[in-house]
Amino acid sequence: MTLTIYHAKFARSVRVIWACEELGLPYEVEEVSLHHGRKAPEGDPNIHPLQKVPALKDGDVEMFESLGILDYIFARYKDELRPKPESDEYPAYCQWYHFGEATLAPYVTMALGHRALLPEKMRIEAMAGWGEREAKKCFALMAKPLETQDYLLPSGFSAADISCGYMLLLAKFAKIFDGAPEPVTAYFKRITERPAWKKATSL
């Protein structure tokens, strides 16, 4: 087993490193620069076909979608971050696991793009505002289970928290996390105290 994770600081590759740290799986990090559609310089190691991250190389296997990579790792190597399909928690797990990327991410990245990432002349404040408003609806939805439990599932930490927790980091970068419900801000603080999170976000 040789897991090589192609990584840029604070990118979605954080999810993959975080999961490996939580599981105690060995991995190597290949640091890459993001070129955002421009041709990568000669010698760039990134295997992602769009020159983004994450990407994973495991022997002959190459992958580039963060949650897909997590599912692959769980299926092939260690499956301790999600409930079993027969568990009563499995439907909630599936819902929150995909919520992070399918529902929350578009709104957060809309605000982030139009508040920070795009050149100023290309930013549209109406788009940023829309992203912020919709993201805050998502925060309110996340707050409901977190009012009575530490993580998104009653049994404790899972890959659903890796999926959603990472997006809260981007929400902070987008400056739309202020005013999030107290259960959600406490949840994010709880996540950022985990050693695996600290390792993944330090690289």
Give the count of beta carbons closer than 10 Å to the beta carbon of residue 196.
Answer: 18
pLDDT digits (tens, 9 = 90+) for 11-62: 999 999 999 999 999 999 999 988 765 666 667 788 999 889 999 999 999 9
How far is the C-alpha of 87 from the C-alpha of 89, rounded, in Å? 5
pLDDT of residue 36: 64
User: For the chain, what is the mean pLDDT?
Assistant: 95
If we measure between CA atoms, which residue out of 115, 133, 134, 132 comes closest to residue 124? Answer: 115
How far is the C-alpha of 143 from the C-alpha of 150, rounded, in Å? 11
Residue-range domains of the chain with CATH: 3-81 (3.40.30.10), 90-194 (1.20.1050.10)
